């Protein structure tokens, strides 16, 4: 019965994800070298091409085109490749010979030129020795590099298996980890090693946020100082135009703060996620105390916890700074608005006064216009009366002119009023 046509397009992809990170089956004695390279979010293609070159050289299976995990058997060694959001890990597994622990790295099985050409910047390099806890000679040889150092160790997996490290970078540029196995199956041993290397990798990725947090703290202090000076000057300066200068200064501070938030928010969020993964991995290995020794988790927590608190404080400081700048800008905008309202009110009063003056001038002009029109109209009427008398009609020119004067004056007044109303419509 074929039900493939009923499946959601993501079903196969999600199922691959469930089986995409199998652990290598391991037994003692064995050596492991683990690397984590920062290759960025866009480095997946380059990472895959580099791995494909190694697979082709040894005739091993290539990774799938869309895969983010791959395990390849190269004969003398196994290589596990994992692509994460911003980094890539390479883990090499070999069976140990009779060499003294930590004198030969599993990574020496890789071609030197290929190892040196891995894309990105190396953040983690870890050598792991897996020995039988009951092999006293191997156990003593494993501990020899740690005798004079601050070593942390924990019992794991609910039994007598223990994991030890000094968390230092040694002369060969590798950190070292000793795993003393007792009573673990090959599958559980492989899963233990996988979780331990993830603890180291995620711990380092979480610590990457600390330099960012310190830089944010330093820049925040500069912004706060400038903000305090601007706010103090705002309260003391009432000069015209000063508010615009203050507002411009606040806008620059706001832009700088938002830029810092944009630059650091991903790093701080990632650090929080990585730290939670470290805590989860310690829970999964069922860590317990070795009497008289500090646990691995205690050592890491002594450094990770302050770093996480610093990141949280830096993020909170930025958000608080953005709020303070916004409040200061709001007060300044209110001040500018009030100034604008006062200026607008003064302008309206001035315009009102000018309108009254113009109205009075207009009325004066209208009155003068009535007088002028009436004067010339009466003169014309008088001339007409004189012409009538000259034609032989008996008319009193003075009386006729006097009688027509009020009529002409009233007509001129009505004419001016009619014209004004016509213009205003």
pLDDT in tens, 140-172: 777 777 666 678 999 998 888 999 998 989 889
289's CB contacts (< 8 A; 6+ apart) are: 154, 155, 295
pLDDT in tens, 400-412: 777 777 887 777 7
The pLDDT score that the predictor gives to residue 424 is 62
pLDDT in tens, 179-205: 999 888 999 999 999 999 999 999 999
Beta strand segments in 43-111, E: 69-73, 78-83, 87-95
Q: Are strands 152-155 and 69-73 parallel, antiparallel or unpaired?
A: unpaired
Q: Are strands 30-38 and 87-95 parallel, antiparallel or unpaired?
A: antiparallel
Instruction: Please determine, for residue 17, whether its predicted confidence score (pLDDT) is greater than 70.
Output: no
Q: Which has more pLDDT, 119 or 377?
A: 119
Element (H, E) at 132: strand 121-132
Confidence of residue 237 (pLDDT cuts 50, 70, 90): low
Sheet of strand 121-132, all strands in order from the earlier edge strand to the far edge: 69-73, 78-83, 87-95, 30-38, 121-132, 175-181, 162-165, 152-155, 288-289
Q: Are strands 175-181 and 121-132 parallel, antiparallel or unpaired?
A: parallel
Please give the mean pLDDT across all residues of the chain.
84
The pLDDT score that the predictor gives to residue 408 is 76
Cα–Cα dist 404/378, whole Å: 7
Q: Where are the domains of the chain?
A: 20-201, 209-347, 355-424
**Average pLDDT of the segment spanning 278-284:** 94
**Average pLDDT of the segment spanning 262-277:** 93
Six token digits for residue 221: 């202090």
Cα–Cα dist 270/386, whole Å: 110
């Amino acid at each position: 019965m074929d039900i493939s046509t009923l499946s959601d397009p993501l079903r196969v992809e999600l199922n691959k994800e469930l089986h995409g990170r199998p652990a290598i089956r391991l037994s003692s004695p064995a050596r492991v070298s683990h690397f984590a390279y920062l290759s960025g979010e866009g480095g997946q293609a380059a990472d895959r091409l580099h791995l494909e070159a190694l697979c082709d050289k040894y005739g091993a299976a290539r990774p799938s085109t869309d895969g983010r995990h791959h395990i390849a058997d190269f004969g003398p060694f196994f290589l596990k490749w994992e692509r994460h959001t911003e980094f890539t890990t390479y883990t090499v597994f070999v069976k140990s010979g009779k060499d003294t622990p930590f004198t030969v790295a599993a990574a020496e099985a890789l071609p030197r030129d290929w190892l040196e050409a891995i894309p990105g910047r190396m953040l983690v390099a870890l050598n792991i020795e897996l020995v039988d806890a009951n092999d006293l000679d191997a156990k003593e040889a494993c501990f020899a590099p740690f005798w004079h150092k601050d070593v942390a160790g924990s019992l794991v997996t609910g039994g007598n298996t223990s994991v030890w490290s000094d968390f230092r970078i040694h002369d060969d540029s590798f950190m070292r980890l000793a795993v003393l196995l007792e009573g673990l199956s090959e599958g559980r041993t492989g899963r233990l090693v996988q979780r331990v290397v993830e603890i180291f990798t995620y711990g380092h990725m979480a610590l990457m946020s600390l330099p960012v947090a310190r830089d944010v703290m330093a820049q925040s202090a500069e912004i706060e100082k400038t903000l305090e000076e601007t706010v103090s000057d705002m309260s003391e300066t009432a000069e015209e135009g000063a508010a615009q200068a203050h507002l411009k200064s606040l806008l620059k501070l706001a832009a700088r703060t938002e830029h810092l938030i944009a630059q650091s928010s991903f790093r701080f969020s990632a650090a929080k996620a990585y730290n939670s993964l470290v805590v989860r991995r310690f829970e999964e290995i069922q860590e317990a105390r070795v009497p008289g020794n500090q646990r691995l988790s205690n050592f890491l927590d002594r450094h990770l916890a302050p770093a996480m608190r610093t990141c949280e404080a830096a993020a909170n400081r930025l958000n608080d700074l953005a709020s303070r700048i916004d409040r200061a800008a709001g007060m300044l905008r209110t001040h500018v608005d009030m100034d604008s309202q006062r200026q607008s009110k003064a302008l309206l009063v001035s315009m009102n006064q000018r309108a009254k003056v113009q109205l009075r001038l207009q009325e004066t002009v209208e009155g003068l216009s009535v007088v002028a029109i009436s004067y010339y109209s009466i003169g014309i009427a008088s001339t007409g009366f004189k012409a009538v008398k000259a034609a032989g009609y008996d008319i009193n020119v003075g009386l006729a002119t006097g009688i027509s004067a009020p009529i002409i004056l009233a007509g001129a007044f009505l004419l001016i009023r009619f014209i004004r109303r016509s213009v205003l419509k």
